[in-house]
């Protein structure tokens, strides 16, 4: 895959960007969508440099980057979007230092815009149980749906990981699955007895009826043995959430968030949760500690005699 930064008269920047994207693709193994996002951010930065009459990367110092972030704010970009742009530039300039093209990273000393902590939507254990008990245990499609939702929560999967699971990826006897995550990073995640039994029931009793003698390598099949789409799973989850008594908006990622939060509340260590979620950086996982702390604080205030 080749990501191009479109700028006809700035081949010096194009060359640096191409080398950087090759580094991210082959050395870091980042996913295509992530690379495209970086490409868009660097294109915007390049346009700004052109407007400023900057012709070499060494001229793009800290004041220039600060001016760029100020310009993004004037254009109406929110703090979270500006933080993403800065993260892209930090990574780009870090690579240039690594390659000895620059001596220092001019973006490193710039603080991220304050975005506020966005806590994920989390379901309680009781709400999870309500949701998981809704799918009918007799209809083949409902058995499939229930197994998918159960496994999504049991292993903390992303929807893209769930729908692309293959028969060869699951070991029901040992209670674990092999997951291909972002950037083609593979991880092994344990699943509990509830998920194992539900997936086993689906594979033995419902999947053959859905396949109708069609061969498929995927565990969860839709029409003609093809894997379910992300949109298809979102529709079925929305259907079950509307049938429930849960007064929260439930998204596919809500179950992944709940998986991580419930593990931490139960005493799991952060590093183990990081490995199961497939996060490259533990800082990404740490947001869940805030969710767990918030929950514990609420319990303390409610039940402690001097809370």
57/295 Cα distance (integer angstroms) = 47
Query: For residue 236, which phi and psi values (nearest 5 degrees)?
Result: -70, -35
How deeply is 76 buried, as exposed, middle or buried, from its count of CB atoms within 10 A (0-12, 13-18, 19+)? exposed
Among residues 145, 162, 152, 154, the alpha carbon closest in space to that of 243 is found at 145
- ∠ Cα 181 184 190 (to 5°): 35
Determine which helix (DSSP H) or strand (DSSP E) holds 16, and give its type and residue range. helix 11-22
123/153 Cα distance (integer angstroms) = 11
Determine which helix (DSSP H) or strand (DSSP E) holds 68, and give its type and residue range. helix 62-74
Please identify every residue annotated as catalytic: 158, 182, 253, 256, 279, 288
Q: What ranges in 112-190 are assigned the alpha helix state H?
A: 125-132, 140-155, 159-163
Give 187-196's long-range contacts (Cβ < 8 A, gap of 24+): 187/275, 187/276, 187/278, 189/155, 189/156, 189/157, 189/276, 190/155, 190/276, 191/151, 191/154, 191/155, 192/154, 194/150, 194/154, 195/147, 195/150, 195/151, 195/153, 195/154, 195/155, 196/172
Hey, what are 200's tokens? 């086993």
């Amino acid at each position: 895959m080749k990501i191009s930064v479109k700028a006809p008269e700035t081949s010096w920047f194009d060359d640096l960007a191409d080398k950087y994207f090759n580094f991210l693709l082959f050395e870091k193994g980042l996913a295509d969508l992530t690379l495209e996002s970086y490409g868009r951010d660097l294109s915007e930065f390049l346009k700004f440099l052109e407007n400023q009459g900057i012709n070499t990367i060494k001229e793009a110092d800290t004041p220039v980057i600060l001016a760029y972030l100020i310009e993004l704010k004037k254009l109406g970009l929110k703090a979270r979007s500006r933080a993403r742009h800065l993260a892209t530039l930090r990574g780009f300039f870090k690579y240039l230092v690594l390659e000895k093209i620059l001596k220092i990273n001019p973006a490193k000393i710039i603080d991220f815009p304050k975005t506020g902590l966005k806590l994920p939507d989390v379901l309680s254990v009781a709400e999870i149980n309500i949701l998981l008990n809704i799918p009918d245990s007799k209809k083949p499609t409902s058995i499939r749906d229930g197994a998918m939702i159960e496994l999504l929560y049991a292993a903390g999967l992303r929807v893209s990981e769930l729908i692309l699971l293959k028969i060869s990826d699951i070991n029901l006897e040992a209670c674990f699955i092999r997951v291909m995550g972002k950037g083609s990073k593979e991880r092994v995640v344990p699943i509990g007895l509830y998920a194992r039994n539900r997936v086993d029931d689906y594979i033995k009793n419902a999947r053959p009826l859905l396949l109708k003698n069609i061969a498929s390598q995927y565990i969860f099949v839709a029409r003609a043995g093809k894997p379910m789409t992300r949109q298809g799973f979102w529709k079925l989850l929305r259907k079950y959430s509307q049938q429930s008594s849960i007064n929260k908006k439930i998204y596919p990622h809500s179950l992944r968030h709940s998986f991580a939060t419930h593990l931490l509340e139960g005493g799991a260590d952060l590093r183990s949760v990081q490995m199961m979620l497939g996060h490259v950086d533990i800082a990404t996982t740490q947001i869940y500690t805030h969710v767990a702390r918030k929950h514990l604080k609420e319990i303390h205030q409610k039940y402690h005699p001097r809370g």
